[in-house]
Chains A and B, each alone.
Chain A
Amino acid sequence: MADRRRMTGTHLTLLLGATVMVIPFVWQLLTSLKTLTSATRVPPTLAPDWRWSNYTAVFELLPFGDQFLNTALIAAARTAGQLLFCSMAAYAFARLRFPGRGLIFGLFLSVLMVPPPLFVIPQYEIMADLGWLNTLAAVIVPGLFSAFGVFLLRQFFLGLPKELDEAARLDGAGPLRIYWSVMLPLAKPGLLALGILTVLASWNDLFWPLIVNTDPEKMTLSAGLASLQGQFQTDYPVLMAGSLLASLPVIVLFTVMQRHFIQGIAFSGNKG
């Protein structure tokens, strides 16, 4: 049957594509378990030597434990801050009337269009003035505020039925009460989407953490790993082990919450 043949063709093409996507990760894993000698053998061998000590070697090369903790703390703080602050502002923009609403929202949106390098010199100056260079606060604090998050959640709030908060209004609830007890519970999918995107962005961010924290013990994983490149001797198996360990938490998070990830991306993709 022609349809059957077409389906097989579809699967073959998709399998080919998926293979190209996955091979680098497989190669990363295999290399991370080889000795340097066997990793640099020509022609290359597939079989790993099960050299798990590459994974402990990462901790000798870098303050990897500290950097792991830094990255996790920064991601958690930025995500919590954005969920709270962005949802507050988004609720106000979506449901309250006040003079200057359009103008202020326009200013928020204008931040979205400016590329990050335009912020970093003055941001660096601020951090230096505050004495915050080489602290976690330097990475966390600017990341608590997001124009994108406000925009995303505002879109979400606008899509919620007005009757619910109007009913609460008639029952005498104030704006704060409506925001907290009516809107936030309804906005869980939107909050989840923003939360996932923020964790992802924060965990993987390189540019700002690299600039502001140069002390290895205050670095994030991204910056720490990046600092290894260009060193005189490149031990690829150890680098592969380190890069795998550093990206694993987000990959696990993605695998567990795949549906929400995809929805978040598709939502921001079609509305943002």
Chain B
Amino acid sequence: MTATVTGTADDVRTAVPAPVPARRRRQWRHRGAEAGWAYLLIAPTGLGLAVFYLWPVLQTGYFSFTEWGPFGGHEWIGLDNYRTLLADEEVLQALGNTLLFALLGLLGIPVAIVFAALLNRPRLRGVSVYRALFFLPVVTMPVAVAMVWRWLYNGDFGLVNYVLSLIGVEGPHWIADPATALYALVAVCIWASLGYNIVVFLAGLQAIPREYYEAAEIDGAGPVAQFRRVTLPLLSPSLFFVSVLSVIGSLQLFDLVYVMAGSGQAARANPAMPRIQTVVGLFYDKAFYTNDRGYAAAIVMALLVLIVVFTAIQFRLQKRWVHYG
């Protein structure tokens, strides 16, 4: 074998077809030039993310140790916001509500798996029609979704209570009743995200080779055993992804509550509000309604801690049950 012995592997690769003018080749191979181009290409997004996202996170962290005056300006007050926060009934209640939203929201996952499994049946007709219908709420503006459901849940004229009345049940004022408001909202969250979860699960299911099921069948495994021994383990990466995303999404719930239960004056008039106020809703209220931005920053830092802890727990637990093929 004859080869140029001197030089690096890169030289060998680029040296084989050589009719390129030497000067241009050197220019491109020159590391400094390549790095220069790279920085230039990254610069717009890099600067944008730094100015509008990374630096603001640090600033929010700083603001959480300050108090804002009514006419602008803020002063350092150390840990005071956090001390207030830990004893603030309103904040603790919002944290509790948000955790409940996140936990109950997970109930949508088994439903999504069942529908995805049904859609994954071989020779099923109309898959794309079903998928489109399930997906409709995912693409619909959340504000519109919230308005429609507010109307459906209406205590006097709502469709939900009418259907219940047909079987002799007198439905409550769902969104204004402290006993039902949270569950009514959870149902909407599950309904709205079902299509997204189905699509992710369906993609996961379609990636499982049919031969695995055939082999399981030869071994005498029934449908239930096949689901437990083949489907679930191989679907576990999708399951992990969806549950992490679902929890992170629920912890940041805002739009639905804002539109369905109101904000500002309207929210204060709703007797169920303390039971459904979320952390982000409370943050919005403090930061942009009562202009208590230092305290709002502390609230949202608590949310960040919550998200980091929950995601870390999920990543820790995944080692026990998630199988990557």
Contact = CB atoms under 8 A, between A and B. Distances in A.
A44 B141 CA distance: 26
B147 A225 contact: yes
Interface in B18-73: 20-21, 24-25, 27-28, 31, 34-35, 37-39, 41-42, 44-46, 48-49, 51-57, 59-60, 63
Interface string B1-18: 000000000000110010
A269 B132 contact: no
Interface stretch (A47-55, A56-64, A172-180, A187-195): A172-180
Which of A92, A144, A203: most chain B CB closer than 10 A? A92
A222 B141 contact: yes
A184 to B, nearest CB: 12
Interface string A236-268: 100110011011001101110010011001100
A230 B266 contact: yes
Nearest to A105: B42
A243 B147 contact: yes
B307 interface: yes
A107 B31 CA distance: 23
A265 B199 contact: yes
Interface in A1-32: 7, 10-11, 13-14, 17-18, 20-25, 27-28, 31
A54 to B, nearest CB: 13
Given A22-B133, A147-B49, A206-B254, A121 B60 contact: yes
B144 A244 contact: yes
Contacts of A123: 52, 56
B95 interface: no
A36 to B, nearest CB: 10
Interface stretch (B76-84, B123-131, B211-219): B123-131
B199 A266 contact: yes
Interface string A76-115: 0000000011101101110011110100100110110111
Nearest to A200: B139
A233 interface: no
A18 B303 contact: no
A153 to B, nearest CB: 11
Contact of A150 (B45, B199, B254): B45
Contacts of A107: 49, 54
Contacts of B262: 229-230
A119 B24 contact: no
B259 A17 contact: no
A118 B57 contact: yes
B37 A243 contact: no
Contacts of A27: 148, 151-152, 159
Contact of B203 (A175, A253, A254, A269): A269
A192 to B, nearest CB: 16
Interface in B85-139: 114-115, 118-119, 121, 123-124, 126, 128, 130-137, 139
Given A18-B134, A92-B37, A119-B60, A206 B46 contact: no
A158 interface: no
A115 B252 contact: yes
A18 B241 CA distance: 24
Contact of A44 (B28, B159, B258): B159
Interface of A: 7, 10-11, 13-14, 17-18, 20-25, 27-28, 31, 39-44, 84-86, 88-89, 91-93, 96-99, 101, 104, 107-108, 110-111, 113-126, 141-142, 144-147, 150, 166, 169-172, 174-176, 179, 200, 203-204, 206-207, 211, 221-222, 225-226, 229-230, 236, 239-240, 243-244, 246-247, 250-251, 253-255, 258, 261-262, 265-266, 269-270
24 contacts: A27-B159, A28-B148, A42-B157, A44-B162, A85-B48, A89-B44, A96-B41, A108-B49, A115-B300, A121-B59, A145-B53, A147-B45, A175-B34, A179-B41, A200-B139, A204-B143, A207-B255, A246-B143, A247-B144, A250-B139, A254-B139, A255-B132, A262-B135, A265-B199
Given A20-B191, A24-B149, A42-B162, 7 more contacts: A10-B121, A21-B195, A115-B304, A115-B307, A117-B283, A121-B63, A253-B139
